[in-house]
Amino acid sequence: MNPVKRLEIVDPERCVGCQLCMYACERRFGDAGFARSAILVRSVGGVERGFTVIVCRACQDPPCAKVCPTGALTPRDGGGVTLNPSKCIGCGFCVESCPIGAIFWNYEVNKPIICTYCGYCVEFCPHGVLRLGEVKGE
Amino acid sequence: MNPRDPLSRVLYIDLEHRRFWTRDRRDLFERWLGGTGVAIQLLKEELPRDADPLSPKNVIVFAVGPLTATYPFGSKTVAMFKSPLTGNLGESHAGGRSATSIRLAGYGAIVIKGASDTPIYLVVDESGAYFRDASALWGITSTLTVGRILREATLGQGYRSIMRIGRAGERLVRYAAVMTETYRHFGRLGLGAVFGSKKLKAIVIRGGGSVPIYDKREYREVYKQVFELAVKSDLMKKYHDLGTPMNILPLNKIGALPTRNLTSARFEEAEKISGERIAEEKLGRRLACSNCPIACIHLAALKEPYPDEPYFYKTTFISYDYEPIYALGTMLGISDIDGLLKLLDVVEVYGLDAMSTGVCLAWATEAFQRGIITRRETIVELKWGDYENYIKAAVNIVDQPNEFYEVLAKGVEKASERYGGREFALSFGGNEMPGYHTGYGAHIGFLIGSRHSHLDCAGYSLDQKLKEPLPPRELVERLIEEESWRQILSSLVVCFFARGIYKPEMVVKALKTLGYDYDVDGLRDLGREIYEEKQRLKHELGFKPEALRPPERVLETESPHGTLKIEYFDEALKVYREMLSRIISQG
């Protein structure tokens, strides 16, 4: 089996807040902006204090899958989750269950935005903040 | 343009009646792209030509363009208004997150009219504008505190921009700035005072949406090309490493760094406040505007002990750039890094324009030394290098405790008209001088540029490329050609620092993915048309090109091109006036 990928934050102190990762995530769909972006860069109480990067860390035992009432979110082998949108009823429990706030909301379709661990954002991080890593067993 | 692109939506806000509405202005965005091009047209529609800049009749336009939020470096907002400093067209550009927030909230422009009778702030999102009471924010000493409060009071972390004024704007200092994301500014020409006159303390813009792209496959490709040019070539690296302060030493070396009110063009202690030195000793963090891979914003970390307790420190992050170091450093003879940073911090906290403040204080210092004014006027003794007193004087410009500071808060031209010393008041068309004494290109650029800014036509850059000055006519033509192309850059709107990447061919390619069909010639023609529209608006606002002349000081202090001759200026300005009257008669 191929190793399972996930996004890793190498060092948030290197982040300059350019948000290129967020734009890259939206560009997966060919558009510009943030509406379907699964990653968020925000300041830690003002830009002078630096930034925090919020993205799914591909938990081994994901709480979001546990609270999903319809089985739309299912644990992925090796860590993280996959979303079956046709099963999702848009209840938003997954958003509430994620303690790091890494599940975002697509208001257009009223369903969660789930990181697919594709690593497209990493290609556009100019300052070595992000890396596509492999999930290691615990 | 792409019919699904929300860029053509314009949000109109009436502060007096607390009303807002949106209109689709496809007509304007199809014809004039966005940014500067569209802002001129909106201002032409909305601004009564005789409006007092500090009256409710003044209008503020914020505009972004097709490349905003879609391409790297599309991170600047263009603000247009009537300037309370010059009484003519005010135009100021700021980075940060305001541009992408406006665009991703689904607007191409915001028009603000009227005035509130009590302090308010606005929250703008995709559904429109909310009017919120700002009485409790009015009079707060620091713009940083205002930002902190609004961060807590509003939603949208990571997707928003917080524009605000400081006490300088409230007190109508004619060169008060609007700050955004703490460290970026609509610095020049007094937008802060226009906010203040409208009792508008802040605007929070929340935009987390997206822009549908016309040709998605090609878009991803061209985006990647721009990105790779930015990060893999040397076109932008210098802006990341040292940032704009990289210019201190080279300009000093060639004798083009205005020092002590331009009594000299070399600062013997330049090394102490150079980009290299500040980076080595103080650089604490770099920041980027949204969608910019470069991160040219440099913050110094200033660690200061509290006097009342041992081992108790505060660390302040202070942004520094070439222009503030020139205006508040070399122009005031300050070579102490900590002192300079403290002065920069005060200017930031109160929301003053760093360049105008520095030039005003430099004039005041020379006037004080010559005995034209005394302690009765200045209250504190003004002496080159004495940053502690300059901090007090900067606060006095805001507080205006006497008539002298009331006048100084109106700019160096007004101050020198009232007290004398016009020959060493470094004003160009009513705006305080930028930091380049490189030659004719720079100074004629300051005079004839639409904003009287070094960024209008980059004459300072031309000066440094040329061994010999061009004939006056050719110089004026070159400057106007550059300014015309920059109208395209500021209509797209991309950062001028990325002009090496956004060559005409690249602009054509990027626009194509967004559903625009331009060729290089078409873009150049449009740039000239926008330039001409701007000149016609300036004319209607009462611009008097015949009143333009360089300050005598510029002719006295040697430049890298030798001592500058008034005859050259006269000839160049004559050529400029001819061109201008041709443009105006064609209107």
Q: With contacts defined as CB-CB under 8 Å, which chain A residues touch B286?
A: 16
Do A46 and B70 lie within an 8 Å CB cutoff? no
In this model, does residue A3 exceed pLDDT 80? no
Q: With contacts defined as CB-CB under 8 Å, which chain B residues touch A42?
A: 157-158
Q: With contacts defined as CB-CB under 8 Å, which chain B residues touch A36?
A: 210
Do A30 and B213 lie within an 8 Å CB cutoff? yes
Listed in sequence order, the residues at least 6 apart from B434 whose beta carbon sits closer than 8 Å to its beta carbon are B323, B326, B355, B442, B446, B453, B454, B460
Do B72 and A46 lie within an 8 Å CB cutoff? no
Distance from CA of B288 to the nearest CA of A (A): 5
The band of A70, judged by pLDDT with boundaries at 50, 70 and 90, is very high
CA torsion B404→B405→B406→B411, rounded to 10°?
Answer: 100
Q: Among B331, B556, B520, which residue's Cα sits nearest to residue B443? A: B556
Q: How many CA atoms lie within 13 A of B67 on its CB side?
A: 28
Nearest Cβ partner for A126 among B151, B183, B231 = B231
B579/B581 Cα distance (integer angstroms): 6
Q: With contacts defined as CB-CB under 8 Å, which chain A residues touch B147?
A: 46
What was the pLDDT predicted at B108?
A: 98
Do B182 and A46 lie within an 8 Å CB cutoff? yes
Residue in A closest to B317 by C-alpha? A48
Q: Supply φ then ψ for residue B58, to 5 degrees.
A: -70, 155
Q: DSSP label at B576? A: H
Q: Among B234, B200, B181, B54, which residue's Cα sits nearest to residue B118? A: B200
User: Does any CB of chain A come closer than 8 Å to the CB of residue B277?
Assistant: no
Class of domain B432-586: mainly alpha
Cβ neighbour number for residue A12 with a 10 Å cutoff: 15
For the domain with range A5-128, which CATH number is right: 2.60.40.420, 1.10.3720.10, 3.30.70.20, 3.40.50.300? 3.30.70.20
pLDDT tens digit string along B479-500? 999 999 999 999 999 999 999 9
pLDDT tens digit string along B380-403? 999 999 999 999 999 999 999 999
Do B231 and A17 lie within an 8 Å CB cutoff? no
Asked if B413 contacts B430 with a C-beta cutoff of 8 angstroms, the reply is yes
Q: With contacts defined as CB-CB under 8 Å, which chain B residues touch A46?
A: 144, 147-148, 151, 182
Q: With contacts defined as CB-CB under 8 Å, which chain B residues touch A127?
A: 295
Beta carbon pairs, A and B, within 8 Å: 97
Which residue did the predictor score with more confidence, A46 or B435? Answer: B435
What was the pLDDT predicted at A88?
A: 98
Distance from CA of A27 to the nearest CA of B (A): 7
User: Does any CB of chain A come closer than 8 Å to the CB of residue B289?
Assistant: yes
pLDDT tens digit string along B308-358? 999 999 999 999 999 999 999 999 999 999 999 999 999 999 999 999 999
Query: Rounded mean pLDDT of B67-94?
Result: 98
User: Does any CB of chain A come closer than 8 Å to the CB of residue B233?
Assistant: no
Is residue B246 classed exposed, middle or buried when 0-12, 13-18 and 19+ CB atoms within 10 A define those classes?
A: middle
What was the pLDDT predicted at B426?
A: 98
B328/B323 Cα distance (integer angstroms): 8
Nearest Cβ partner for A17 among B69, B144, B287 = B287
Query: Rounded mean pLDDT of B559-564?
Result: 97
B365/B108 Cα distance (integer angstroms): 44
Coil, helix or strand at residue A5: strand
CA distances from B422 to B85, B87, B236, B449 (A): 17, 19, 39, 21
Cβ neighbour number for residue A43 with a 10 Å cutoff: 20
Tokens of B348: 């930031």
Q: With contacts defined as CB-CB under 8 Å, which chain A residues touch B100?
A: 19
Radius of gyration of chain B (CA): 22
Angle (nearest 5°) at CA B335 between B330 and B341: 90
Q: DSSP labels for B381-427?
A: ---TT-HHHHHHHHHHHHH--SHHHHHHTT-HHHHHHHHS-GGG--E
Do A45 and B151 lie within an 8 Å CB cutoff? yes
Distance from CA of B157 to the nearest CA of A (A): 6
Q: Is B59 left (phi over 0), alpha (psi -120 to 50) or beta?
A: beta
User: Does any CB of chain A come closer than 8 Å to the CB of residue B515?
Assistant: no
User: Does any CB of chain A come closer than 8 Å to the CB of residue B301?
Assistant: no
Nearest Cβ partner for A124 among B151, B181, B227 = B227
What was the pLDDT predicted at A45?
A: 83
Third-level CATH fold of B239-394: 1.10.569
Helix (H) or strand (E) holding B303, with range, is: strand B297-305
B507/B498 Cα distance (integer angstroms): 11
B456/A122 Cα distance (integer angstroms): 37
Asked if B331 contacts B394 with a C-beta cutoff of 8 angstroms, the reply is no
- Going by their DSSP bridges, the two strands A40-43 and A32-33 should be labelled as unpaired
Strand runs labelled E in chain A: 5-9, 32-33, 40-43, 51-54, 73-75, 81-83, 104-106, 111-113, 130-134
H helical segments located in B420-565:
440-448, 454-457, 459-465, 472-492, 504-513, 520-540, 552-556
What was the pLDDT predicted at B139?
A: 97
Q: Among B164, B195, B196, B194, which residue's Cα sits nearest to residue B182? A: B164
pLDDT tens digit string along B135-186? 999 999 999 999 999 999 999 999 999 999 999 999 999 999 999 988 999 9
**Interface probe, candidates A23, A29, A48, chain B, greatest B C-beta count within 10 A:** A48
What was the pLDDT predicted at B587?
A: 78
Query: Rounded mean pLDDT of B17-45?
Result: 98
Q: With contacts defined as CB-CB under 8 Å, which chain B residues touch A23?
A: 69, 291
Tokens of A85: 């949108």
Q: With contacts defined as CB-CB under 8 Å, which chain B residues touch A50?
A: 285
Mean pLDDT of the residues in chain B: 97
Q: With contacts defined as CB-CB under 8 Å, which chain B residues touch A31?
A: 210-213, 216
In this model, does residue A136 exceed pLDDT 80? no
Do A126 and B290 lie within an 8 Å CB cutoff? no
Coil, helix or strand at residue B259: strand
User: What residues of chain A have any CB closer than 8 angstroms to a CB in chain B?
Assistant: 16-20, 22-23, 26-27, 29-36, 40-43, 45-48, 50, 124, 126-127
What was the pLDDT predicted at B316?
A: 96
Asked if B380 contacts B389 with a C-beta cutoff of 8 angstroms, the reply is yes
Distance from CA of A45 to the nearest CA of B (A): 7
What was the pLDDT predicted at B182?
A: 87
Q: How many residues are listed for chain A in this entry?
A: 138
A131/A125 Cα distance (integer angstroms): 9
Tokens of B59: 């209008």
Distance from CA of B399 to the nearest CA of A (A): 27
What was the pLDDT predicted at A48?
A: 87
Do A47 and B216 lie within an 8 Å CB cutoff? no
What was the pLDDT predicted at B522?
A: 98
* B337 CA to centre of own chain: 24
Q: DSSP label at A48? A: G
B108/B113 Cα distance (integer angstroms): 17
Residue written as token pair 């697919």: A116
Residue written as token pair 């429109």: B128
Distance from CA of B18 to the nearest CA of A (A): 28
Do A26 and B210 lie within an 8 Å CB cutoff? yes
Percent of chain B with pLDDT over 90: 98
Q: Which amino acid type is present at position A72?
A: A
Q: With contacts defined as CB-CB under 8 Å, which chain B residues touch A19?
A: 100, 158, 288, 290-291
Asked if A134 contacts A3 with a C-beta cutoff of 8 angstroms, the reply is yes
In this model, does residue A138 exceed pLDDT 80? no
Asked if B158 contacts A40 with a C-beta cutoff of 8 angstroms, the reply is yes
Nearest Cβ partner for B211 among A33, A45, A47 = A33
In this model, does residue A129 exceed pLDDT 80? yes
CATH classification code of B6-206: 3.60.9.10
Every domain of chain A and the residues it spans: 5-128
Tokens of B466: 């040329």
In this model, does residue B558 exceed pLDDT 90? yes
The band of A2, judged by pLDDT with boundaries at 50, 70 and 90, is low
Do A18 and B289 lie within an 8 Å CB cutoff? yes
Q: Supply φ then ψ for residue B508, to 5 degrees.
A: -60, -45
Give pairs for A106-113: CB < 8 Å, separation 24+: A106/A35, A106/A36, A107/A35, A108/A35, A109/A85, A111/A83, A111/A85, A112/A64, A112/A73, A112/A83, A112/A88, A113/A36, A113/A37, A113/A38
What was the pLDDT predicted at A1?
A: 52
Tokens of B35: 């940014």
pLDDT tens digit string along B297-315? 999 999 999 999 999 999 9
What was the pLDDT predicted at B443?
A: 98
In this model, does residue B513 exceed pLDDT 80? yes
Q: Supply φ then ψ for residue B218, to 5 degrees.
A: -65, -35
In this model, does residue B198 exceed pLDDT 80? yes
Q: Among B532, B548, B541, B542, which residue's Cα sits nearest to residue B580? A: B532
H helical segments located in B233-353:
237-241, 248-253, 275-282, 322-328, 337-350
In this model, does residue A137 exceed pLDDT 80? no
Q: With contacts defined as CB-CB under 8 Å, which chain A residues touch B158?
A: 19, 22, 40-43
Every domain of chain B and the residues it spans: 6-206, 239-394, 432-586
User: Does any CB of chain A come closer than 8 Å to the CB of residue B213?
Assistant: yes
